[in-house]
Amino acid sequence: MSAPTYDLGTLHGGLRLPGHKSESTRQPILDVPVPGQLVLPITQHVGDPAQPIVRIGERILKGQLIAEPDGTLGAPVHASSSGTVIAIEPWPVTRRNGGTAPCIVIECDGKDEAVHNTEPPVDFRTMAPPDLLRKFLQGGIVGLGGAVFPTAQKLMQARTCEIDHLLLNGVECESYISCDDMLMRERAGEVISGAQILMHALQIDVCFLVVESDKPEAIRRLGDVLGEVNDDRIILKQVPTIYPSGGEDQLVQLVTNREVPSGGLPSDVGCLVQNVGTAAAIHDWIINNQPLISRVTTVTGDGVVSPVNVRARIGTPIADIIELAGGYTERAQQLIIGGPMTGKSVTTDNVPLVKATNCILVSSETPSPGPELPCIRCGDCASVCPVQLLPQQLFWYACADDEKKMREFGLMDCIECGCCDLVCPSHIPLTADFRVAKGRIRELADEKARAARARLRFEARNDRLEREKTDREAELAEQKASAKKAGPSAIAEILKRQQEKKEGDD
């Protein structure tokens, strides 16, 4: 077994939150049976929606491609079980403000028949990195930490920079969520295999496997497997349990002590971060030829009877998954998709599990922090902000709708972690305010861009009209000149001809 290392950089601020993880880690991962119906949104990733390539009534098999990526940033969608396509229509999905999104609805036949794979298995070590990345794209692999950025495009971007570190993110810092913990305990081998594939794709030799100190079981399992595979390129790192050290930029800072520049990416400082779940999904696709059609998710909170981690097919209704966890308790009040800090509250359990769903939290009461009071400028928010912003100043400018100052004070770098909300003695919902302000700034930028384009088109049109006018005048002048040159007799002849024609018409 290889022991974890501890030498780390420093992270500003952050909070120690009550974990609530032991509830859902008592039993092994349960497999959710094939549901009666699967609902697969065509947008389960950052970027352009995928285009459905199946027809209503068509029979499809498990693992079959049902929607192709369209545009530069996107990922395909695969059927997660066999059955018949019964609809392609808007369906309720997990969104911050509710609403629906286009989905492919499949009625399952329960046979779970997989597509017959004719491709011979290829050793990834013999594949050129660009080919391997193209293969990633076909597997529908996206970041499973919650951001669902298409993995292939992330790696393609990273390959244009000088990358020297791969960071596998096993830091699941938000309370209640334990799906990565359970995944690392049960599938440590697949995670490490995924890391090796990623290192080959990036052609680098250093991988930090970063796990939080509150997951001793996962660390032990990973250490055992690392000892077995004897790959000294992969280094196990243990980090303290502080929220939000699992944020991409925060993890880079904590592990390598390199600060990701404002508005930049970890690749700007030579790092690439991937979630451990993504690594396991990459293993499943490259080694076992199984695209991303299922994921591990945590069902927890005191609103469910027996909190547990489950492996469910993408598209399974949340209601089915909660049923497997024993159903709702009497205290169940609120359904949150995601963790308590960054999750989204939904009003129906009819929404499907998507690639981004890492947690289904049913809480007993709506947390009410108390009435909002005026800011007393204590500065507690600034001392916990992991991005070292000044939330009290930003709040001031957000109230005044001062776009310029908000930008100047780095609002766009806010990661919306919610630490400032938790420590605010006046119970000001700072993160919600910042989210609105960020939306407003983006809107203004969009408006500006639209205005600039309209102006360009307007000016181009005016130029064209002007040009047409001068051209016409020039032509007319030319005709006049040529008529004059022909002399008065020619003109008289034309007039006569016209007169004759007129008489003929009458």
- Contacts with another protein by CB under 8 A lie at 447, 450-455, 457-458, 460-461
**Shortest distance, CB of residue 319 to another protein, whole angstroms?**
30
**Shortest distance, CB of residue 362 to another protein, whole angstroms?**
32
319 Cβ contact list (under 8 Å, min separation 6): 349, 350
Q: Which is nearer to another protein, 377 or 407 (CB)?
A: 407
Q: Which is nearer to another protein, 460 or 490 (CB)?
A: 460
350 Cβ contact list (under 8 Å, min separation 6): 92, 317, 318, 319
Q: Which is nearer to another protein, 107 or 459 (CB)?
A: 459
Reduced to 3 DSSP states, what percent helix, strand and coil does the chain have, rounded to the nearest 5? 40, 20, 40
Cα–Cα distance, 2 to 219 (Å, whole number): 10
Q: Which is nearer to another protein, 376 or 456 (CB)?
A: 456
Q: Phi first, then psi: what are they for 291, rounded to 5°?
A: -65, 175
Q: Are 139 and 124 in contact (CB under 8 A)?
A: no
Q: Are 88 and 102 in contact (CB under 8 A)?
A: yes
**Shortest distance, CB of residue 290 to another protein, whole angstroms?**
39
Q: Which is nearer to another protein, 205 or 466 (CB)?
A: 466
Q: Are 222 and 238 in contact (CB under 8 A)?
A: no
**Shortest distance, CB of residue 440 to another protein, whole angstroms?**
11
**Shortest distance, CB of residue 337 to another protein, whole angstroms?**
24
**Shortest distance, CB of residue 51 to another protein, whole angstroms?**
19
DSSP code, position 201: H
Q: Which helix (H) or strand (E) holds 271?
A: strand 271-275
Spatial strand order in the sheet of 77-78: 51-52, 65-68, 77-78
Q: Phi first, then psi: what are they for 455, rounded to 5°?
A: -65, -45
**Shortest distance, CB of residue 461 to another protein, whole angstroms?**
5
Q: Which is nearer to another protein, 453 or 469 (CB)?
A: 453
**Shortest distance, CB of residue 464 to another protein, whole angstroms?**
8
What is the identity of the amino acid at 442? R
Q: Residue 317 burial (CB < 10 Å; 0-12/13-18/19+)?
A: buried
Instruction: Tell me the DSSP string of 366-421.
Output: --------------HHHHH-TT---HHHHHHHHHHT-HHHHHHTTGGG-----HHH
Cα–Cα distance, 322 to 305 (Å, whole number): 9
316 Cβ contact list (under 8 Å, min separation 6): 32, 35, 38, 80, 352, 353
Q: Which is nearer to another protein, 377 or 450 (CB)?
A: 450
Strands 271-275 and 165-170, sheet pairing: parallel
**Shortest distance, CB of residue 185 to another protein, whole angstroms?**
46
Nearest to 43 by CA among 113, 99, 102, 107: 102
**Shortest distance, CB of residue 457 to another protein, whole angstroms?**
4
Q: Phi first, then psi: what are they for 128, rounded to 5°?
A: -70, 145
**Shortest distance, CB of residue 99 to another protein, whole angstroms?**
11
Q: Which is nearer to another protein, 3 or 451 (CB)?
A: 451
Q: Which is nearer to another protein, 176 or 397 (CB)?
A: 397
Distance of CA 126 to the CA centre of its chain: 30
Cα–Cα distance, 40 to 53 (Å, whole number): 13
Q: Which is nearer to another protein, 452 or 477 (CB)?
A: 452
Buried-exposed string 281-315: b where 16+ CB fall within 10 A, e elsewhere: bbbbbbbebbbbbbbbbbbbbbbbbbbbbbbbbbb
Q: Which is nearer to another protein, 8 or 441 (CB)?
A: 441
Q: Which is nearer to another protein, 454 or 486 (CB)?
A: 454
**Shortest distance, CB of residue 455 to another protein, whole angstroms?**
4
